Every structure is written in C-alpha cells, then in structure tokens.
Structure 1
Amino acid sequence: MAHSLESLVIRHTHRLSSPKGSAGEGATAARQFDAALASVGFKLSAELLERLSGLSEAAVVHTAKRTLRTVSEMVGDHARHNAYFIDFPANVPDTEEFWMRCVTKALGDDKSRENVLTQLAHGVLDLLSLPTYGRYQHTYEEMLAAQDELIASAGDRVTVLHLGRDLDDELTDLYLALAGSTTPLGEDHLRDLKALAERCALGPQPESIPVRENRAVVNEARLAVGADFLLDTVIDVLRLACALSGGDVTLQEPTRFRALSRPTRRALLAGLDAVVAANPAKLADVHAHREPFKRLGERLHPHEYPRWPHAADVFAVARGEKEARSFDSRVEKLLDEFDVLGAVQLLKSAPGKLFRSLDLLLRIAADQEERDAVVAAAVRVAPEVSGRVVLSVREHFHNRERETDEPRIFVNRRGRAWVARDVRPPVPAADRDRLIAALDAELRRRLPAPGRLLLDPDVLDVALPLSGRATAAGLGVLPRGSVSAVDGEQLRFFVYWKETENRTDFDLSALLLHADYSTDSWLSYTSLKAVGGEHSGDVTEAPDGASEFINLSLDRVRSTFIVPQVNIFAGESFEEVEESFFGFMLRDAEQKGRPFEPRTVRMKSELRGVGRVALPLVFRREDDGRWRAKWLHLYLKGISSANRVEENQVSVSKVVRAIVEREHLTVRYLIDLMYGDTTAVDLWDGEPVPDEPVTYIGLERPEGLHPDSRVITLENLRDLIPG
C-alpha cells in the first residue's frame, strides 16, 4: 500500500516524498538512478540528487526501483511494444503487396491452403484466415535486435522529479487539493481521491467540498471511520449510496444498489431525515432522480424506522405518493408561457440555474426591457455563482458570435461527442457583449493578486480545465481545446491494448484532411503507406498486449490536418480491456531507435471512454508551415464491430471541424484579466529564477524556485479556477 501511495504522489505532483533511509555514501547509486531515469525521459532535480547522495546505497536502490516502476508506467514503457513489421518504419510494403505475400504463404501451408482456395473461388477473402496475418511473426527481442540504437537529442523530453516532503504531508496536501477542487475530477482522479480519503478522513479537511461527486467519495470514507457526513441535499445521500454500491457517483449511469448493513441503512436514513427536517423544500430535488430513489428505498426499508419520518417522505415523493412541486417545473411552466420576467424573478433564488438559462432567456425575451432584466439579474447574482459556471457561460457566449449555421458539438460527461447544426436564433450582439463584459468584471474581482508572476509561454494556449472529465489521465496531457506546439521532424502515434478475456482488435489509423476538412487520404491497416507516412501493420489480437504505430514525416505531409484515431474493430470496449493507452512521440529524422522510445514520448493518455472510436487530438499545419496540436479527448459511438477509418471519415471530419473552430478560454485569458497591460509578468526563458517568492504558471516546475512560491503546473492547473 505504501508503494501505491508513493506512486500516487509521483503521478500527481512529479515529486518524490522525502526519501527515507540511513545516512551513507549513495552518490554513485544516485547518479546511476538518474541515468536510468534519463532512458525513460525523466531526471532528478539537483536538490533530490543531493538528498539521495547522502543516503546509503541500499536506500537509494530501494527508492530507485519503486520510482522507475512508476515513471515507466506513466510514459507507457512498462509494456513491451512490438511492431508487426520488424524494422518499422523502414521497408513497410504496399498494402496489396503485403496481402498477396500473406496469401502466397497461406497457399504454401498444407493446413490453410484448401480454405484459402475456397475463399478465393468465391471472390472474398478473410484476412484473419491467413496464418501470417495479424499475429506477430517475430519476438520482441528479435525486433529490438533489428532496430538501430536511438541517438540522443537535445529535443528529447525531460521531466524533472522534485524533492517532496514526508509522505504523510504529501498525501494530506494531495487529499486537500483533490477533495476541495472547484472543478469535477476525471474518473482516475476520483479513484485516487477515494484511496486518499480512506487514509485522510480523520485528518485535516478542506474548507469546503464544492463538487458533489467529491463529497460522495469523502462521505463514504467518513462513514467507515464513524465521522459525521457532509450533507446539504437529499442528492448527497443518493450519491453516497451509489459510492457504497460501487456505482456512478455522477448519477449518469444507473447503479445497482447492494444490500446494506443495518448500521449503514440507519446512517443514510438519519442523514436524509436531517436534510429534509432542516429544509422541507429539499424534497423537490427528488424529482430529478425518482427511479434511483425508489430503488434505494427498497434497500433502506424506511418503514422500519418511524423515528425518521422526513426520510420516509423522500421515498413517498419518489413513488408519487406525496407532492413536492419541483423548482424546475415552476421555471418550466413560466418559460412555456414566455413569462421571461417571472422566470428571471424565480431563478434569482437559484443563481447557477439562472446562469445556465441565460441563452434561452435572451432568445425568447419579447423586447429590450426583458433582455435588460435578464442581464441585470445575471449581474446581480454573479457573485453567488461558482467560478467554473461563470467561466463556462463566458466561453459559451464568446462562441455565440459565430454564424448560427456552424456545426455545434455536444460532449457528455464520458467524452461521447456528436455534432448537430446550430439552429438557435442568435443572441442580440449588444446584450451578449454587455453580459461578457459583466462576466469578465466578476472574474477579475475574484482572481487573487498574485504579485510577481513567472510565466512559461507554452502554457498560454492551454484551455482552462473547467472539468476534469475534459482531460484523460496520463503524462503531458492537456485539457480539451488546448493548443500546443509540435516541434520535431518525425511524428509517431502509438496505441497499446491488452485484452481481458475476449479476442480484441484495436486499429490505429490517421485521417488526413484538407483545409476545408474534406478527406485527403488516410493511414490504416488498409492503407499501410501514404504521402509522408507508414503504418506498422495490423495486429488482430492482444492476449499478451499489442501495439500499433503510425510514423509521419511532417515535412512530407501535404494535408492541413492529421487526425489520429483508434477504432475498435472487434472485441472488448475501451472500458473492458485490461489496459489501453494512446500517445505520440516526436523525433529528429536521424534519431532512429525502436518503434517505441520512452524519452521521445510527448504525451501518453489512457483510453477509457464510452464509444467505439477514440479521437485523442488533431494536428493542424498553420499558415507559417508549423504544426500545432489541438486536444480533443473525444469518443464517437461508432458501430458494434468493424469500425474503420473509411466508414467514419465524414463523422470524424464534422467533430474535428466543430472543435477546431470553437474558441476555448485559456490560461492567457485569465492572465490578461489579472494583469491587463502591467509589467509584473516575467516570461520564463530558462534563465535562473528570481530569489524572491513568485507565482509560477507553466507546463512543468523549474528548478530553484523560492520555497514560498506558488506553483501551478499541468498537475494542479484546476487551482487557477476561482471558487
């Protein structure tokens, strides 16, 4: 358990909790540790190297083993990445030539000849029936022997590991940061919060836990140690019941409630009773989740506990036996009657709901007087709305300036994306601009005065993480909508998957699009070579894990967009496989090396989403010829089997266009709000850092910052979102 918690700290903070061990002469072992880290693209900070050097050799080796295991997993080097074509990207054959080679070998095989001849006579051939198709024809070791050594480059990725505090302190800090996050966490971070909460439930707690899913996870841990729940709505209790049953605390997916122990049932019923007794109007919240409440009532048996009558009322409302007129129904009635002023008056008591209704209210308002009332109400309640919602509404209205016939993208909490034509009437420009100015003023008021700011220019175009679900877990992963530079001559994608029990075939493909988003060409198992690129070959099963690669020489690619995608051709879903991840590498042309070289990996993200087609990001050639990546983290529904780039090119193109054309709020936006045109911002150019405390915002933490500095990197970028 200790190792997993140390690993958790490394993944989230890029810090090693202060190494323990007896004093000694560990300098040689520490340098060897640093060299081993370099092979996977990491290094020790000077401070951490010095600390390790003062420990015994045994203590350094102990720390090194655990750390190397963690960072290898972070970058994807824990897997053995074989390629179907042994010397990929060299000598990749043309697709038809390769298929004929497989057929020729099958005809020379006594076991397969008759079957293949029969198929050929009918004019249809199943590639999977060919013995040499889709299965590695060489071992991982043979592939390594066939590849040249990687030539080190100054452009290789180097991720610095810093010296942290004691493990207990690091875990407490991480728990407080995750539990108190102002934005929802992704699934992986929510799981990490669960592990931390189990350890930290009786220790220091955040001032508030604004995100309801986080509160459910913390309440589950508090139940286990006998601490009081943190509840203020009946939905909090429902989420807690989902957590106790191993279900979905976001309430997006139905939970099958488990049989609960009598003490647990009493605790949940007492919690419900206390919430409703304090505010009977809370009963109206039941309507949004009537079915889950009915199923929960079957497990809690509220009739057995007459001392908590208000809890029984919750389930009576769910069953329709007790009336509790919901707030939403009252608002809906007013909107159906186009009573904008009445709806605004009612929504003032629910500022978050008012903000989410602003677009509709401005569209259906009959005249300028009503629109003025909508804007005035928004300005009045803005201080009571969470920063995340204010920013989301600000981004929404910024993008409403576009023509209404542009495609509109919808993305659910699980990353599933679909596109529809925007048929909404426009919002009057003057009202939109007034609202945007008011939102800017409110956000400026909330932002802290950071004093002297040290800023990495590369972070300016990173999208604000308004939800952790807009970012996949992994290394070097940016939130959806972020834009980052691509510096390198060779761009190489990779996918790795390992099936759980059923034969599973993932296919890595790349769709190349013209400037108008029409198809230029693609690389896939049906098109092994295209202008500027090569595919490593189709692997059709992964009992021991499998990898596929696509290599592109960027100076030879003539398309405007490169869209990597992972298609599920057969077998288990992204959520069912034992493991699956995607990433990309950047190399200089002369570097050579294995198909997978960890220190050239720029990004590695987990593939865990609902859908049969994954779209991690898109690469775009700018007018100056340089390439930039825009991050997607999207999944398309696809079909149940045989998803292929040829069939989904139109739907992929529509989604890519919708995301590329959409403008996301970025770190640059917040910096401009905080500083305006002042000169208190220093751009970080790798020079020695100031001796005084600063606020540093960048992709990674530089060495040598004053210990009292506030540091914001990719790992805690959510801290930029005001409460």
Structure 2
Amino acid sequence: MENLESLVIARRLRVPVDAPDAFAPGRGETAARQLDAALLSVGFKCSAALLEHLTRLPGETVSDLGVRVLATVRGLVGDHVQHNVYFVDFPANVPDTLEFWAGLLREALLDPVAAARVQPPTLDLLTLPGYGRYRHTYADLLAAHAELIPLAGDRVTVLELGGSLESEARELYFSLAGSEVPPAAEDLAALRSLASFCADQPERIPMRENRAVINEVRLAAGRPLLVDTVTDVLRLACGCSGGDVTLATPTRIRSFRRAERRALLQALDTVASPAKLGDVPRHREQWKRLGERLHPHEYPRFPRAAAVFEVARGVRRAVGFDSRVEAALSAGRTSDAVELLGKAPGALLRRLDHLLRIGLSAPTVLDAAENAVAGASGRLLLSLREHLQNRLAPASGRVFTNRYGRAWATPDSRSPLEEEVLSRALAILDEEIVRRLPDPGALIVDPDVLDVALPLSGKAVSPGLGMLPRGSLSTVDGELLRFFVHWRQAERRTDYDLSALMLDASYGNATHISWTNYGNDFAEYSGDLTEAPHGASEFINIRLADATRPIIIPQVNIYDGEPFDEAAEAFFGYMTREAGQEGRPFEPRTVRTKSDLRGSGRIALPLVFLRDDNGGWRVKWLHLYLKGRPGFNQVEGNRVTTSLLTRSIVERDYLRVRYLADLLGKRGSSAEHTTYIGLAAPADLPPGSRVYTPGTLHELIPA
C-alpha cells in the first residue's frame, strides 16, 4: 500500500488521505506545520486545502504520513542520497587541469610505494593515488559551504489534497491504462502494480503493451482475457514470463500450469482467423518457444490455435498484410496497393508520404487518405500532422529514434512534396482532429505550456520531476545553471563522466567541459569520480551571463562499467540559482528537473540549453541515447554525432500544446465546465474542471 501511495504522490503530486474520523480528536496542527516546513526545505509545500485537512487528523497520523510523503518527494528531486564532490570547494577553487594532474603525479613520485607503479613507458593517469575517489567526507563538504539563501525564485512545488488511496489509485490506473500514448517502462511497472490493486478497468485499452500487463492480472485471477490479435496472446505469455511485452527483445518463456495453458490457447483460438495468421512470422521464433510450453496438440478443440504454431514452424503458409502491399508495389501495381491499404486506414496513413512520392496521382492518394482518417487513431493523426508540417521546408537531416531513445541521423534524400498537396493533407488532418477533440467549455491555457511538445510517445521519457516530452521548450531562469549526475554501481566498478559540449550558433567551434578540461571562462567541473560502490555525484556549473557559446549540451558518458539500466541507481537533473545564494553543490529546492537514466546506449543526451536572440536561455528536451563504444566514451569522441543529432532535434517543428489549444479555441462551446491546460493547476479553478498538466497531458490526445 505504501508503494501505491508513493506512486500517486510522485505521479500526480497529490497526497492520498482518508476523511477525518468524526469520533477521534484531531490535533494535527503542530505536525502539519512541521511537515510543511520540512517539505519547503526540499522545494515542496502543502496546498491550503491539504494543510487544513491535516490539522483535523490526529497528530500521530500526520507524523506517520509526513515521513512517507517527505521520503517520496526527496527521492523525486534526488535528495535521498548525499551528493559529495571531488573538489570540496566546488564551484570555487577548481584547479587548472594540467596543474591538477601534475600535482597528483608529484605526490605519487614522492611516495616510494606509489612511485614503483609510476614507471615508463606507459602511465595510466587514472591509477594515480588519490584520483577518482572522494578525499573528504560529506561532513567536510557541508562545513566548506555556507547555507543556501532562500529566494522567491526557488522552485516550490505544491502538493494537493487527494482523496482516499483507493480512489487516487483508481484514477491513476485509468489514466495509464487508457492512454493513447505508448508507455515508458516505468509506466508499465506502475500499471502492473495498479492492476493488481484495482478490480475494474477502463472501457478502452488502446496500447497493446498496457493490455498485456492487465491481462497478466486477469490470467492469474482466472478472468477472461482481452485479446483481439494473435500477438496479444504472445505479449501476455512474455509478460507472464517476466519478459518484454513490447516483443523487442526475446523472452525465455516459462512453463505454464494446465489452467493457464487452456486459457491462453482458448484466447488464441478465438482470434486466430486466417487473415490474422499473417502476423505470426514476424515473431516466428518466439511462437515456437511458446508452442513448446503450451502443448497445443493436447487440446484438439482449439484447431485455430494449433494453426498459429503450424505457421510458426513453416508447416502452413500465411502471407501478412504488409507483404501483400509490398508485393503490389514491387510489381508496379500501385493502384492495387492503395486499394489494399484502404482496408487498413492506419497502414495507409503511415505510408502517405511514400505513396505521394512514387508517382501515384496525388488527388487519388489524398482522396484515399480522406476516407481513411476516420478509422485511424488520434495519435497517428497527430504524428502524421507533425511529420507533414516538417516537409514544408527542407530539413538539415533526418533523425530516427527507437523505443529505447537510441538515435541516429542521416541526410534527407527524399524528394520534396508540392505545397498544394501538403496543404490539402494538413487540412484533412486538422478537420478530423478538431472533430475528435472534447468540448473544452471555458478554455484556460497557461502561456508557459504552449511550447510543450505533445506526448506522442512516452517510451524514451523516464518519468520524474519536471520532465517534458522530446522537443519541448521551456524558459531557464537564474544566473547559475548547474547540472548533475549521480550513480551507484551494482556489482562492478562503474565510471560515469558528466560532460558538456558547447557550440556556436552554426553548431561548430566546439569546446567542452569534462574530466579532461576542468573549466573555462564561464564553467567549472566538480571533479572526476571513477567508482561508486556507495554512490558518486558529478556537477558542472555554468555562469550563463558569461557563456561565450549559445548552445550547451550536457551529456553522461559511460567510461567503464555497468550500463545505465544495470546500475543500482543512475539519475540526471539540473538546478538553477542566483549567484549570491551560496549553498551546497546540491540544493534540492533549486532542482528544476530530475529523472532516471536508462536505455541501451552508452552516452545519454537528456537536453540542450539554447540562448535566444534576446540573451535569455531556454531548454529543449532531447531524451536521446547514443550507442557509443563499449568503453572509454568521452565528449571529444562523439562531438560530430552529438552536434548533428542535437541540431536535427532543435530545428524540427514539433507539434506542441499550442496547436491543440488553437484548435480547441476555434472549436467553440456552450458547455459550462472549464478546461485548464498548464504546467500546474491553480487553486481557484471551478469545481468539475478538466485539468491537463504535464503528468496528464497524454489524456488530451484524442482517441
């Protein structure tokens, strides 16, 4: 139950509480004020409604709740660990890089034991005594820094009053389960916990991965399964085996009990029509492994289920829909291909750009698209809209990103599309999207949310504090920018390196800050740590007014050891503060964003900082991972790739909240309710208002 409570607080910034007991004395005033003060030290506070509610609870209840709430929000900002630094006075007194290395070498040569290891012809500077390990305690760090001076510009995140844990968990469950957006790995884990707790379910579960997770709970409870394709059954089997429900990586299928085998085969038999058998070859090997566990020959009453495994073994032939479309295109029967695609609206729209470039009559293709839009998902319509609006002008390059955030770029070799064709395609999409949008009633939009990108996919975005979808823009306030990384190794020595690539307006003239260059005229590095058995933190401090480069790209390189998703803990974030605030290297109330690092790449590119024409700074979210090398990654080695990928993201015209807000505003309404879209909900909204904030923005994507 505590895990669910923490999940609700972290995801919704709402504190689940029960109604006060009318027969129990409520004397929680003192405990409530103490909790509010403790929260303020880490950049949070209770809303007026929450504070008033807590005062009517027994003091012991408020104290117990406060311990759990404080632990949750401290983890949310990264304050649950002690952030020490290599250079105790950081950002002051950071030495010159060459002087630092020379000093370490001098110390080693003066130590007879160490000197024996420092011999030509090779010298590994990273093995010098005293390098890469803390040389002082956390108490020494605290003693070296003055207290933070609180300012009005510090982040204060309001925790709202929630309902009972049951109602809050149900609301979060319905939001995640009914999302139109592909989920992040953390969302699937949360959904699994919530599905075990909540008995009912939403009417629609559009995402296949979400459906697989919910089916795991239904299978365990002996309830009917929610499947409409054969692949749904395979996803469920992989999920029950502790594997990947996205089917991106192979799963070792476990043995199933007889009742489970019967349920899986029965579900498979109901959906395995001849038209759907064409999906089987895509995951042929996984189907073979599942057949070895289900023993379909023992269940002759499920003949259509047995046909699935015959296709997987090659005994029966099945041609998939995509194969038939490709065969028609390869044979030059383009009109047949369009006619075939017309039976699958989503497939036609995903190929729209291609169809317009292969010599087909544009009016014919657009007529087919106009007929297809009503049968496609809202997320697909928005994704296609974003794609086509970027075809209006030549792009510097194309970026491809997979579900893990791994990205690569290539020059754009596509032939251009005529502006008239694009204009009609965009008009078709806009008309259908407007038709699907909900009645907004009285619409209120916070200007600060207009440049937030619509969450058309959540796979590469790890949930956390202040996280926004890839392509989102937001303002950076403060004189000092400081980003940080913290990691703790699980089993073997692990060395992560926080670095920053700094470029001019043309994405050239590069300079950097890292363990090979501790500082320049406007930035300082906190020092390199090469192992983290108990956790390690690195920081880069930047004085924005003095920055001579308008583009700053922080990155985390895996130099050696465990990948991000194998480390015991790994997270990145950034802080902003004013120059006179003093304080420790890490101050939780100045943290603007923080999230876990994960993904299969060896180089993380979370975001980029950009100076605008007026001298102000903005941040744009990247959520990218580069493959990198197996080891020894450093900022100097990936400069070209990082520059190209970042430029492609920065110059891309993402579909933002502004687009939907404009359509909602034009839609008109006579309804009496209020719709609010913003970074945080104000306290004075009318009862019954529909509220969309970054944590629930996916609910605005139409079905």
- If the length of structure 2 is used for normalisation, what is the TM-score? 0.98
State the partner residue of 1:275. 271
Q: Distance in 2 between matches of 1:69 and 1:474?
A: 15
Give 2:45's aligned residue.
Answer: 43
Mapped pair 1:154 → 2:138: no
Confirm or deny: 8 A CA contact 2:434 2:667 kept in the other structure. Answer: no
What are the Cα deviations for residues 503-535 of structure 1, in whole angstroms up to 9, with x where unaligned? Answer: 000000000001111143110010000131000
Maintained 8 Å contact 2:445/2:661: no
Aligned partner of 1:292 in structure 2 is 286
Match of 2:321 among 316, 320, 327: 327
- 1:688 maps to none
Q: Which residue of 2 aligns with 1:257?
A: 253
Deviations 1:686-707 (A, max 9, x none): xxxxxx8521111112223223
1:89 maps to which residue? 91
**Secondary structure at the counterpart of residue 255 of structure 1:** coil
Residue by residue over 1:619-638, the C-alpha shift from the partner in whole angstroms, topping out at 9 and shown as x without a partner, is: 11111111111100000000
Q: CA deviation at 1:211?
A: 0.5
> Cα distance, 1:42 vs. partner?
0.3
Q: Which one of 333, 338, 347 corresponds to residue 339 of structure 1?
A: 333
Q: What secondary structure does 1:676 align onto?
A: helix
- Tell me the residue number matched to 1:398: 389
CA RMSD of aligned residues (A): 1.5
Q: Is it true that 1:584 corresponds to 2:574 in the alignment? A: yes
Query: How big is each residue's C-alpha offset from its partner over 1:515-573, in whole Å with a ceiling of 9 and x where there is no partner?
Result: 11114311001000013100000000000000000000000001010000000000000
In structure 1, distance between residues paired with 2:530 and 2:523:
21
Deviation at 1:496, TM superposition (A): 0.3
- For residues 287-324 of structure 1, the C-alpha deviation after alignment (integer angstroms, 9 at most, x for no partner) is 22222111211221111221211111001011111122
Give the share of equivalent positions with the same residue, in percent. Answer: 56
1:636 aligns with 2:626: yes
Matched residue, 2:237: 241
8 A contact 1:560–1:621 mirrored in 2:
yes
What corresponds to 2:304 in structure 1? Answer: 310
Q: Secondary structure at the match of 1:149?
A: coil
What is the CA–CA distance in structure 1 between the aligned matches of 2:401 and 2:53, rounded to whole Å? 46
Matched, 1:351 2:382: no
Q: Give 5+ residue unaligned stretches, structure 1.
A: 682-691
Return 558-567 or 446-455, whichever deviates more.
446-455
Q: Does 1:266 align with 2:265?
A: no
Per-residue deviation, residues 337-380 of structure 1 (Å, max 9, x unmatched): 232221111111111111111011000024xxx21111011111
What does residue 683 of structure 2 align with?
703
Q: Distance in 2 between matches of 1:699 and 1:67?
A: 21
Task: Return the alpha-carbon distance in structure 2 between the equivalents of residues 178 and 601 of structure 1.
Answer: 26
How far apart are 1:204 and its partner, in Å?
2.4
| Residue of structure 1 equivalent to 2:64 | 62
Match of 1:100 among 78, 99, 102: 102
- The answer to whether the 8 A contact 1:453-1:680 is kept is no
Offset, 1:19: 4.5
Give runs of aligned pairs for residues 618-637 of structure 1, distance below 5 A. Answer: 618-637=608-627
Counterpart in the other structure of 2:496: 506
- Conserved? CA contact 1:519–1:649, under 8 Å: no
1:548-606 alpha-carbon deviations (Å, 9 max, x no partner): 00000000001010000000000000011011000000001101100000000000011
- Counterpart residue type for residue 284 of structure 2: R
Q: Which moved more, 1:169-178 or 1:700-709?
A: 700-709
Cα deviation digits, residues 177-218 of structure 1 (max 9, x gap): 111111111110110000001112xx2211111100000000
Distance in 1 of aligned mates of 2:187 and 2:217? 16
Q: Secondary structure in 2 aligned to 1:562? A: strand
Are 2:518 and 1:528 equivalent residues in the alignment? Answer: yes
Q: What corresponds to 1:372 in structure 2?
A: 363
Partner AA of 2:306 in structure 1: A
Q: Distance in 1 between matches of 2:410 and 2:331?
A: 27
**Secondary structure, counterpart of 1:515 in structure 2:** coil
Say if 1:89 and 1:599 are closer, same or farther in 2 by CA, change over 3 A.
Answer: same
Which residue among 171, 174, 178 is the counterpart of 1:173? 171
Q: In the alignment, what sits opposite 1:689? A: none
Residues of 2 paired with 1:262 and 1:227: CA distance?
15
Q: State the number of aligned residues.
A: 700
Pick aligned residue for 1:362 from 332, 356, 360: 356
- After TM superposition, give the deviation of residue 426 of structure 1 in Å: 1.5
Shift of 1:334: 1.1
Distance 2:509 2:295 in 1: 59
Residue 98 and residue 287 in structure 1: after superposition, are their counterparts in 2 closer, same or farther (change >3 A)? Answer: same
Q: CA deviation at 1:677?
A: 9.8
Deviation string, structure 1 residues 224-263 (Cα, Å, up to 9, x no partner) = 1111100100000000011011111111111111122222
Residue aligning to 1:481: 471
Change (3 A) 1:567 1:528: same
Question: Which residue, out of 186, 196, 199, partners 1:198?
Answer: 196
Contact 1:20 1:59 (8 Å CA) reproduced: no
* Secondary structure, counterpart of 2:510 in structure 1: strand
Q: Residue 338 of structure 1 contacts residue 364 of structure 1 at CA under 8 Å; is this kept in 2?
A: no
SS at structure 2 position matched to 1:555: helix
Q: Is residue 555 of structure 1 aligned with residue 545 of structure 2? A: yes
Does residue 614 in structure 1 map to residue 614 in structure 2?
no
Residue 388 in 1 paired to residue 390 in 2?
Answer: no
Cα deviation digits, residues 469-509 of structure 1 (max 9, x gap): 14222110000000000011000000000000100000000
| Aligned-pair CA distance for 1:13 | 0.8
Alpha-carbon distance in 2 for matches of 1:502, 1:148: 36
- TM-score, L = length of structure 1: 0.95
**Does the 8 A contact of 1:19 with 1:63 survive in 2?**
no
How far apart in 2 are the matches of 1:169 and 1:188?
A: 21
Paired residue for 1:566? 556
Specify the alignment match of 2:5 in structure 1.
Answer: 6
